[in-house]
Amino acid sequence: MAVARFYHLTEDPLEALLPLLIGKAFEAGLRVALRGASQVRMEALDRMLWQGEGFLPHGLAGGPHDGEQPALLCWDTTPAPDLPNRPGCLIALDAAPVNAAEAAALERLCIVFDGLDPEAVQAARKQWKALTGAGVAAEYWNRASGRWRCEARHPPEPAVAH
């Protein structure tokens, strides 16, 4: 079962974090599904990923080779394990839905939200409550200190007695 990792964007844009998350999943030997709220958004990210530094092989859902894509950009709510590329990692953007059954079938789950958008923050809080309420472990990550750090966990780690 995946730990739901919530990435709170405040300093860097999504375009800086996505290649990092996708690259780490590839290093672990995982295929990736990148789920957004709309086809227009995913088409824009598709262009960004092709034009960015480095090479991250990927495809936009609906193509003839979806099942072969190391990273598949999609905008529907098909559960990640049922997606044609059989991802082990799901990256959800723009409050795209994720449920506990889906988290149970994944090795990695990343939920990325814009910390400067109050609606996105509220949606992330709802996702945190829904997932942790269903028994999914979760971590809250931010980059306020200059590098990505895990600032909170659910359930919390037990205190170490001295």
pLDDT tens column, 96-154: 999 999 999 999 999 999 999 999 999 999 999 999 999 999 999 999 878 899 999 99
Residues 4, 21: Cα–Cα separation, whole Å: 13
pLDDT tens column, 67-86: 999 999 999 888 888 899 99
Position 159 in a domain: no
CATH number (domain holding residue 132): 3.40.50.10110
**Predicted model pTM:** 0.91
Position 162 in a domain: no
121 token code pair: 């923050």
Residue 116 structural domain: 4-154
Residues 61, 75: Cα–Cα separation, whole Å: 8
Position 85 in a domain: yes
Confidence at 49, pLDDT banded by 50, 70, 90: confident
Residues 69, 87: Cα–Cα separation, whole Å: 9
Position 24 in a domain: yes
How many structural domains is the chain composed of? 1
R_g of the chain, CA atoms, integer Å: 15
Rama region for 135: left / alpha / beta (φ>0; ψ in -120 to 50; rest):
left
